[in-house]
Amino acid sequence: MALLVMKFGGSSVADAEAMRRVAQRVVAAHRAGDRVAVVVSAMGDTTDDLLDLAGQISPGTPPEREMDMLLSAGERISMALLAMAIEQLGVPARSYTGAQAGMRTDTAHGRARLLDVQPDRVRRTVEDGAVAIVAGFQGISTDDDITTLGRGGSDTTAVALAAALGADVCEIYTDVDGLYTADPRIVPSARRVTRITIEETLEMAAHGAKILHLRAVEYARRFQVPLHVRSSFSDQEGTWILVGRPLTEDTMEEPIISGIAHDTSLGKVTAVGIPDRPGAAAAVVGAVAQAGVAIDMIVQNVSTSNAETSDISFTLPEADGRTAVAAVRALQEQMGFADVLYTSHVGKLSLVGAGMRSNPSVASRLFSALADAGVNIEMISTSEIRISVICDQSDLEEGVRSVHTAFDLDAEEEAVVYGGSGR
Ligand code: ADP
Ligand code: ASP
Ligand code: MG
């Protein structure tokens, strides 16, 4: 008898019919003898709709505490309806908010981090032979206020619950049949990956493949939670994410490249004409970190304006652009540099694969494929299992398709995207 955590994303519970389909799947697992805890997201685009509504009532910055109270309601609707649908099929089910499920977080509204997970009630419910349903993406802070974990955070709730319950597997049900070699919405010929290491999955998630919340993958790695990403719309086996297992003989036949992630949510800041002396980069990057902005990629070059000076450019989440520019501008007079420039709509393409570290031809093949697609590379960064390039956002999709083909990743059949808006 296995203990399963099954997580269903928004498109899997978008309406009453979808909700009934999910209930049937949960009941089938329960009837097969497994103990089942479920995590649900808000129905369809509910979270976006609630955000819009808040924007109409409170333009600018609505109070964070109330925003979390509002957004957490989306998942509460889903959990109660799913419990009803499961009861309809003759299996007892009880729903719990994040707070009731023991999800204790810090006080950072909108991006709260889990501090402690004590799902006693969930455990008792499951041991009683009922299905427990937990609202994703939310918790209760150390100040006893309702918090949310950030967009896409239900994946993290699911993995944290699976870790705390000691579940055998955490199944992430979504609107595609697993993790693909690229986003199937951009590359219809993307290929489903059958198995992938957690390190590669981390790189994919960290660099824009939004199929899994990055923090969920980090959590799964830390607590060794096996993940199975699959579709709630089909019975196909999905993608197994291997935890604590490096590539070994049985996985040696896997291709060198596991996938291409792309990110369209970046901006780029350039400080122009910085006097070339030790400590300059530390001052610029330090000021941005002080402002609470996480920098993605950094390059320093001899300045375009004066050879005695240098330019420092870095990429960052677009949403943090204004804060970062202000932080760098505050240094301008004191450090004596010429200007601060900001570019929005920057794109990033990342090629990920644990097998590519010992293969020197990978980078040249990547750059040739981008050149063939007419993509101008602005920045490059590498890790042991990833090469990322920054380019104009409007070139990104074409670049991803060209690189996908150049690495022989194209499948014969088109990938199926079952539903949802994909945002
Ligand atoms: P859910 O609502 O189930 O959480 P998401 O919309 O958050 O679903 O994530 C699923 C989407 O992730 C897919 O519809 C797909 O467009 C996108 N995606 C991005 N990169 C990949 C990838 N490499 N493999 C599969 N899906 C991907
Ligand atoms: N409903 C939340 C969102 O749309 C959380 C989630 O679905 O994971 O971001
Ligand atoms: Mg998601």
Q: Mean pLDDT across the chain, nearest whole number?
A: 93
Contacts of 353 (CB under 8 A, 6+ apart): 200, 255, 256, 257, 258, 259, 362, 385, 386
What is the whole-number distance in angstroms between the Cα of residue 261 and the centre of ligand 1?
11
Q: What span, in angstroms and rounded, lies between the C-alpha atoms of 295 and 385?
A: 20
Ligand 1 centre and the CA of 212: distance in Å? 7
Does a structural domain hold residue 355? Answer: no
Average pLDDT of span 173-198:
96
Residue 133 lies in a domain: yes
Closest Cα partner for 10 from 19, 23, 21, 2? 19
**Total count of residues recorded for the chain:** 423
Residue 252 confidence (pLDDT) above 60: no
Q: How far is the CA of 29 from the centre of ligand 3 (A)?
A: 22
- Its domain, for residue 26, covers 3-175
Cα separation, 122 vs 95, whole angstroms: 9
Question: How many folded domains does the chain comprise?
Answer: 1
Q: Is residue 68 part of a domain?
A: yes
pLDDT band of residue 251 (cuts 50, 70, 90) is: low
Give the whole-number percent of the chain exceeding pLDDT 90.
85
264 or 276, higher pLDDT:
264
Across 254-338, the runs of DSSP E, i.e. the strands, are: 259-275, 298-302, 309-317
What the block records as the tokens of 281 is 């980069």
Note the pLDDT of residue 88: 98
Can you state the angle between helices 361-372 and 396-406, rounded to 10 degrees?
A: 130
Task: Spell out which residues have Cβ within 5 A of ligand 3, the ion.
Answer: 9, 152
Strand stretches in 276-332, DSSP E: 298-302, 309-317
pLDDT band at 410 (very low <50, low <70, confident <90, very high): very high
Residue 101: inside a domain: yes
Residue 85 domain-assigned? yes
Interval 69-114: pLDDT, tens: 999 999 999 999 999 999 999 999 999 999 999 999 999 999 999 9
Ligand having the closest approach to the CA of 154: 2
The CATH number of residue 166's host domain is 3.40.1160.10
Report the pocket of ligand 1 as residue ranges, CB < 6 Å: 9-12, 41, 152, 174-176, 179-180, 182-185, 209-211, 259, 417, 420, 422
pLDDT of residue 301: 84
Could you tell me if residue 164 is inside a domain?
yes
Q: Are 413 and 380 in contact (CB under 8 A)?
A: no
| Domain membership flag for residue 405 | no
User: What is residue 94's three-state secondary structure?
Assistant: strand
Q: Is residue 8 part of a domain?
A: yes
Question: Is the model's pLDDT at 250 over the cut of 60?
Answer: no
**pLDDT digits over 144-174, tens only?**
999 999 999 999 999 999 999 999 999 999 9
Which residues line the pocket of ligand 2, CB cutoff 6 A? 9-10, 41-42, 47, 74, 136-137, 151-154
State mean pLDDT over 216-238: 97
CA nearest ligand 2 atom 4, residue: 47
Q: What average pLDDT does the segment 220-249 reach?
A: 88
